[in-house]
Amino acid sequence: MTDAYIVGVDMIKFGRFPDKTVPQIGAQAALMALDDCGLTIQDMQALYCGNLGQASGMVGQRMLQEIGQTGMPVVNVANACATGATAFREAWASVKAGLYDCVLAVGVEQMGKGLLGGAGAKVGIPKEGLLGSGTMPAVFAEAGMEHARKYGTTFEQFAKVSVKNHHHSTLNPKAMYQIETPLDEVMGAEMISYPNTKLMCSVNVDGSAAAVICSEKKAKELGLMSRAIKVRASVLASDPWQERDLVMPDVNSCTRKAAAEAYEMAGVGPDDINLIELHDCFATAEILHYENLGICKDGEAGRLIDEGEVALGGRIPVNVSGGLLSKGHPLGATGIANIYEVSTHLRGEAGSRQVEGAKMGLTHVIGLGSACAIHVLEKAS
């Protein structure tokens, strides 16, 4: 099978765009990714379009109605917060399979403000606040408290994740916010669902990101190898059975399964990875994934954040983009935005937040329900 390369990739600055349609927001990133590699929509053989909020709304086709109706096949993808990464993976798979040699993947989302999850009942009575909470801040708080019961992880350690990622975002002009949030401010912010305060919850924003993927032969023909990013591994996992599945959506076992498969596919280990963009939908979640992705041993995640190993300049910087916590989390776009961030570092184009000498990076997203997508990316040699 051919190797597949990202030749063009970009994202819009995340924000709130109530006056635009979802296809219009997606079209912006699509055009930017095409411009990044100097190709046109006519060069694309297929489109894989990820969006959650209008999953039945043919967003991909409507986007092409904005930027070029070539008649190419369009696959619309929905997979919770793994939507964008799943669209990217389908695009990658089509190139790997030899079906196409130049395709476009787009992730886009337009979001309201406020709590996600825990929706009202269609029959009977609403269960929110009666049988616990199904809101996302509470669900991820419960997952964090499971780590606390095992390893004594503290509220302060969870909060430090948010301090770090907000700091990183001050260096990223495409992040929703560029604001420092000191520890006392994070811990003193409105408590949403203990131990997650408001500043420990990801930001609901509108956004889009896109990538152009080519076969090795095509990338070379087009003369696009100098800035190309090799996809060393692309893995998608669902949640293997766990004893508390029915009451505690599982973000750990599917991440561990996907990570093991991704490292095997890439032929590398966690020590070979120079930076990670992982799914910090809540500060509690990031702590779990240090261990799930194998960058430290089980029980060491608290030490990692305490000692700054996961900060820019540390041993293995995590979420230097600002993460979902401050860059923002437009659900369907997040997976490709993470791929944009890692690619930008591998190209040495990340400016003041550049992870020096980055050669290989990993992206991770989790959609509750559950879906985990991991990509291992490397600068083309």
Q: Which residues are catalytic?
A: 81, 329
Backbone angles phi, psi at 124, to 5 degrees: 70, -135
Taking the complex as a whole, the smallest distance from the CB of residue 134 to another protein amounts, in Å, to 9
Nearer to another protein, 75 or 191 (CB): 191
Question: What span, in angstroms and rounded, lies between the C-alpha atoms of 53 and 281?
Answer: 17
Taking the complex as a whole, the smallest distance from the CB of residue 28 to another protein amounts, in Å, to 32
Nearer to another protein, 66 or 142 (CB): 142
Taking the complex as a whole, the smallest distance from the CB of residue 120 to another protein amounts, in Å, to 8
**∠ Cα 363 367 372 (to 5°):** 50
Distance, CA of 350 to chain centre: 17
Taking the complex as a whole, the smallest distance from the CB of residue 378 to another protein amounts, in Å, to 37
- To 10 degrees, what angle do helices 283-292 and 253-266 make? 50
- Residue ranges that bind another protein, judged by CB under 8 A: 115, 118, 120, 123-133, 135, 137-138, 141-143, 145-146, 148-149, 155, 190-196, 241, 243-248
Nearer to another protein, 1 or 130 (CB): 130
Question: What span, in angstroms and rounded, lies between the C-alpha atoms of 187 and 200?
Answer: 9
Query: Following DSSP, what letter does each residue of 215-240 receive, concatenated?
Result: EHHHHHHTT-GGG-EEEEEEEEEE--
Taking the complex as a whole, the smallest distance from the CB of residue 239 to another protein amounts, in Å, to 10
Backbone angles phi, psi at 93, to 5 degrees: -65, -35
Nearer to another protein, 57 or 134 (CB): 134
Contact 322, 175 (CB under 8 A): yes
> What is the enclosing helix (H) or strand (E) of 339?
helix 331-346
What CA–CA distances, in Å, run from 282 to 64, 136, 162, 198? Answer: 34, 9, 9, 10
Nearer to another protein, 71 or 122 (CB): 122
